[in-house]
Structure 1
Amino acid sequence: MMAVSFPRLAEVFPGLAVEVAELLVDEDPRLARTIQDLRFYGRCTCTPTCPVLLTAPAGSPGPGVIELERDGDPIALLNFDPAGRSVTGIEVLDGRDLSIPSA
Protein backbone atom coordinates (compact mmCIF):
# COMPACT_ATOMS: atom_id res chain seq x y z
CA MET A 1 0.00 0.00 0.00
CA MET A 2 1.37 3.39 -1.00
CA ALA A 3 1.50 6.12 1.66
CA VAL A 4 -0.29 9.36 0.82
CA SER A 5 1.87 12.45 1.08
CA PHE A 6 0.12 15.63 2.11
CA PRO A 7 1.49 19.05 1.08
CA ARG A 8 2.53 21.58 3.67
CA LEU A 9 -0.04 24.24 4.54
CA ALA A 10 2.61 26.83 3.58
CA GLU A 11 2.69 25.39 0.06
CA VAL A 12 -1.08 25.57 -0.42
CA PHE A 13 -1.81 28.79 1.52
CA PRO A 14 1.56 30.57 1.89
CA GLY A 15 0.14 33.95 2.92
CA LEU A 16 -2.09 32.44 5.57
CA ALA A 17 0.74 30.34 7.01
CA VAL A 18 3.00 33.41 7.33
CA GLU A 19 0.25 35.52 8.89
CA VAL A 20 -0.75 32.83 11.39
CA ALA A 21 2.87 32.33 12.45
CA GLU A 22 3.38 36.10 12.85
CA LEU A 23 0.22 36.55 14.92
CA LEU A 24 0.89 33.45 17.04
CA VAL A 25 4.46 34.32 18.00
CA ASP A 26 3.39 36.59 20.89
CA GLU A 27 0.85 34.06 22.19
CA ASP A 28 2.95 30.88 21.87
CA PRO A 29 6.38 31.24 20.20
CA ARG A 30 7.04 27.49 20.25
CA LEU A 31 3.75 26.71 18.51
CA ALA A 32 4.37 29.56 16.03
CA ARG A 33 7.59 27.86 14.90
CA THR A 34 5.61 24.76 13.86
CA ILE A 35 3.26 26.55 11.42
CA GLN A 36 5.53 26.45 8.34
CA ASP A 37 5.89 22.67 8.66
CA LEU A 38 2.20 21.81 9.19
CA ARG A 39 0.73 19.38 6.68
CA PHE A 40 -2.50 20.28 4.91
CA TYR A 41 -5.09 17.48 5.06
CA GLY A 42 -7.77 19.40 3.15
CA ARG A 43 -10.78 21.44 4.08
CA CYS A 44 -13.34 20.34 6.62
CA THR A 45 -16.30 18.81 4.79
CA CYS A 46 -19.01 19.37 7.43
CA THR A 47 -20.59 21.96 5.09
CA PRO A 48 -19.62 23.11 1.58
CA THR A 49 -18.49 26.50 2.93
CA CYS A 50 -16.82 25.44 6.19
CA PRO A 51 -13.78 27.71 6.72
CA VAL A 52 -11.74 25.10 8.63
CA LEU A 53 -8.44 23.91 7.17
CA LEU A 54 -7.30 20.58 8.57
CA THR A 55 -3.65 20.41 9.61
CA ALA A 56 -4.00 16.93 11.11
CA PRO A 57 -6.06 13.94 9.97
CA ALA A 58 -9.82 14.44 10.27
CA GLY A 59 -11.00 13.54 13.75
CA SER A 60 -7.72 14.47 15.45
CA PRO A 61 -8.34 15.92 18.89
CA GLY A 62 -8.17 19.68 19.07
CA PRO A 63 -9.60 20.78 22.41
CA GLY A 64 -7.34 23.81 22.80
CA VAL A 65 -8.21 27.06 21.01
CA ILE A 66 -6.29 30.26 20.38
CA GLU A 67 -7.98 33.22 18.70
CA LEU A 68 -5.70 35.31 16.50
CA GLU A 69 -6.56 38.95 15.86
CA ARG A 70 -5.08 41.82 13.89
CA ASP A 71 -6.04 45.31 15.09
CA GLY A 72 -8.95 43.85 17.07
CA ASP A 73 -10.39 41.96 14.08
CA PRO A 74 -10.52 38.16 14.36
CA ILE A 75 -8.37 36.45 11.73
CA ALA A 76 -8.46 32.79 12.75
CA LEU A 77 -9.15 30.27 15.48
CA LEU A 78 -6.45 27.66 15.94
CA ASN A 79 -7.28 24.27 17.40
CA PHE A 80 -4.35 22.46 18.93
CA ASP A 81 -3.74 18.99 20.32
CA PRO A 82 -4.21 18.20 24.03
CA ALA A 83 -0.46 18.42 24.66
CA GLY A 84 -0.26 21.86 23.01
CA ARG A 85 2.43 20.72 20.58
CA SER A 86 0.73 21.10 17.22
CA VAL A 87 -2.12 22.88 15.49
CA THR A 88 -4.79 20.44 14.30
CA GLY A 89 -7.01 22.90 12.45
CA ILE A 90 -7.33 26.54 11.46
CA GLU A 91 -10.76 28.17 11.23
CA VAL A 92 -10.33 31.19 8.99
CA LEU A 93 -12.58 34.01 10.22
CA ASP A 94 -11.65 36.96 8.00
CA GLY A 95 -13.52 35.84 4.88
CA ARG A 96 -10.44 35.38 2.68
CA ASP A 97 -10.62 33.13 -0.37
CA LEU A 98 -9.94 29.53 0.64
CA SER A 99 -10.04 28.08 -2.86
CA ILE A 100 -7.37 25.47 -3.24
CA PRO A 101 -5.06 26.46 -6.10
CA SER A 102 -4.95 24.08 -9.06
CA ALA A 103 -1.75 22.10 -9.49
Structure 2
Amino acid sequence: MSEIESEIESDSEPPLLADVYPALVSFLDTALVAEGLPLLAQALVRLRFHGWCRCGPSCTYLRTAPSTRAADAWFHFDDEDAPRVWVQLDQDHASFAGMEICEFELGPAPALDPDRPVGML
Protein backbone atom coordinates (compact mmCIF):
# COMPACT_ATOMS: atom_id res chain seq x y z
CA MET A 1 0.00 0.00 0.00
CA SER A 2 1.37 3.41 -0.90
CA GLU A 3 1.86 6.17 1.65
CA ILE A 4 -1.07 8.11 0.17
CA GLU A 5 -3.39 5.06 0.31
CA SER A 6 -2.36 4.40 3.90
CA GLU A 7 -3.06 8.03 4.86
CA ILE A 8 -6.49 7.95 3.20
CA GLU A 9 -7.37 4.66 4.91
CA SER A 10 -6.34 5.92 8.35
CA ASP A 11 -8.38 9.14 7.90
CA SER A 12 -11.59 7.32 7.02
CA GLU A 13 -14.28 6.97 9.64
CA PRO A 14 -15.30 3.57 10.97
CA PRO A 15 -18.50 2.19 9.43
CA LEU A 16 -21.86 3.02 10.94
CA LEU A 17 -23.01 0.47 13.50
CA ALA A 18 -26.33 0.28 11.62
CA ASP A 19 -24.45 -0.88 8.52
CA VAL A 20 -22.55 -3.54 10.46
CA TYR A 21 -25.27 -4.79 12.82
CA PRO A 22 -28.70 -3.46 11.74
CA ALA A 23 -30.64 -5.90 13.95
CA LEU A 24 -28.79 -4.64 17.05
CA VAL A 25 -29.49 -1.00 16.19
CA SER A 26 -33.16 -1.80 15.53
CA PHE A 27 -33.45 -3.64 18.86
CA LEU A 28 -31.82 -0.77 20.75
CA ASP A 29 -33.97 1.82 19.00
CA THR A 30 -37.17 0.01 19.98
CA ALA A 31 -35.96 -0.55 23.56
CA LEU A 32 -34.82 3.05 24.07
CA VAL A 33 -38.10 4.48 22.78
CA ALA A 34 -40.07 2.05 24.98
CA GLU A 35 -38.02 3.22 27.99
CA GLY A 36 -38.84 6.85 27.21
CA LEU A 37 -35.36 7.71 25.92
CA PRO A 38 -36.06 8.96 22.38
CA LEU A 39 -33.03 11.30 22.31
CA LEU A 40 -30.69 8.40 22.96
CA ALA A 41 -32.55 6.40 20.30
CA GLN A 42 -31.86 9.22 17.83
CA ALA A 43 -28.14 8.99 18.64
CA LEU A 44 -28.07 5.43 17.28
CA VAL A 45 -28.01 6.59 13.65
CA ARG A 46 -24.65 8.32 14.24
CA LEU A 47 -22.92 5.46 16.10
CA ARG A 48 -19.77 4.13 14.49
CA PHE A 49 -18.45 0.59 14.81
CA HIS A 50 -15.00 0.97 16.39
CA GLY A 51 -14.47 -2.78 16.76
CA TRP A 52 -14.34 -5.11 19.74
CA CYS A 53 -12.46 -4.77 22.99
CA ARG A 54 -9.13 -6.58 22.80
CA CYS A 55 -8.80 -7.52 26.47
CA GLY A 56 -9.34 -11.20 25.62
CA PRO A 57 -10.44 -13.41 22.73
CA SER A 58 -13.95 -13.89 24.11
CA CYS A 59 -14.67 -10.33 25.31
CA THR A 60 -18.04 -9.21 23.99
CA TYR A 61 -17.65 -5.44 24.49
CA LEU A 62 -18.38 -3.65 21.23
CA ARG A 63 -16.89 -0.16 20.96
CA THR A 64 -18.94 2.63 19.38
CA ALA A 65 -16.59 5.49 20.28
CA PRO A 66 -12.94 5.92 21.24
CA SER A 67 -12.32 4.55 24.75
CA THR A 68 -11.57 8.06 26.03
CA ARG A 69 -15.27 8.93 25.51
CA ALA A 70 -16.58 6.25 27.91
CA ALA A 71 -18.43 7.30 31.08
CA ASP A 72 -19.13 5.25 34.18
CA ALA A 73 -22.87 5.16 33.43
CA TRP A 74 -24.32 1.84 32.27
CA PHE A 75 -27.80 0.42 31.83
CA HIS A 76 -29.14 -2.80 30.34
CA PHE A 77 -32.02 -4.20 28.38
CA ASP A 78 -33.35 -7.48 29.69
CA ASP A 79 -35.02 -10.44 28.09
CA GLU A 80 -37.01 -11.98 30.92
CA ASP A 81 -34.38 -12.67 33.62
CA ALA A 82 -31.13 -12.17 31.72
CA PRO A 83 -29.60 -8.97 30.32
CA ARG A 84 -29.39 -9.02 26.54
CA VAL A 85 -27.26 -5.90 26.09
CA TRP A 86 -25.47 -3.63 28.56
CA VAL A 87 -25.04 -0.13 27.15
CA GLN A 88 -22.31 2.27 28.27
CA LEU A 89 -23.02 5.98 27.87
CA ASP A 90 -20.47 8.46 26.60
CA GLN A 91 -19.15 11.29 28.78
CA ASP A 92 -21.93 13.66 27.69
CA HIS A 93 -24.64 11.05 28.34
CA ALA A 94 -25.99 11.97 24.90
CA SER A 95 -24.74 8.89 23.06
CA PHE A 96 -22.94 5.60 23.63
CA ALA A 97 -19.30 4.66 24.05
CA GLY A 98 -19.94 0.94 23.73
CA MET A 99 -21.99 -2.04 24.75
CA GLU A 100 -21.56 -5.50 26.19
CA ILE A 101 -23.42 -8.03 24.05
CA CYS A 102 -24.75 -10.73 26.37
CA GLU A 103 -27.67 -12.68 24.95
CA PHE A 104 -28.29 -11.06 21.61
CA GLU A 105 -27.98 -12.78 18.24
CA LEU A 106 -26.06 -10.43 15.98
CA GLY A 107 -26.55 -12.64 12.95
CA PRO A 108 -23.82 -13.59 10.48
CA ALA A 109 -20.53 -11.75 10.85
CA PRO A 110 -20.48 -9.16 8.07
CA ALA A 111 -17.44 -8.27 6.00
CA LEU A 112 -17.28 -5.00 7.96
CA ASP A 113 -16.47 -6.99 11.11
CA PRO A 114 -13.68 -9.49 10.43
CA ASP A 115 -12.58 -9.59 14.10
CA ARG A 116 -15.79 -10.65 15.83
CA PRO A 117 -15.10 -12.57 19.08
CA VAL A 118 -15.26 -16.34 19.09
CA GLY A 119 -18.66 -17.73 20.04
CA MET A 120 -20.74 -14.65 19.20
CA LEU A 121 -24.05 -15.53 17.57
TM-score range, shorter chain: 0.7 to 0.9
Runs of at least 5 residues in structure 2 that lack an aligned partner in the other structure: 1-6, 113-121
Matches within 5 A, 1:7-86: 7-27=15-35, 28-86=37-95
TM-score by length of 2: 0.74
Could you list the runs of 4 or more consecutive aligned residues of structure 1 that deviate by over 6 angstroms after TM superposition? none
Q: CA deviation at 1:43?
A: 0.8
Q: Distance in 1 between matches of 2:94 and 2:84?
A: 21
Residue 59 to residue 48, structure 1, CA distance change in 2 (3 Å): farther
Runs of at least 5 residues in structure 1 that lack an aligned partner in the other structure: none
Q: CA deviation at 1:4?
A: 2.3
Instruction: Name the structure with the higher helix share.
Output: 2
Aligned residues: 103
Identity %: 29
* Greater Rg by CA: 2
TM-score by length of 1: 0.85
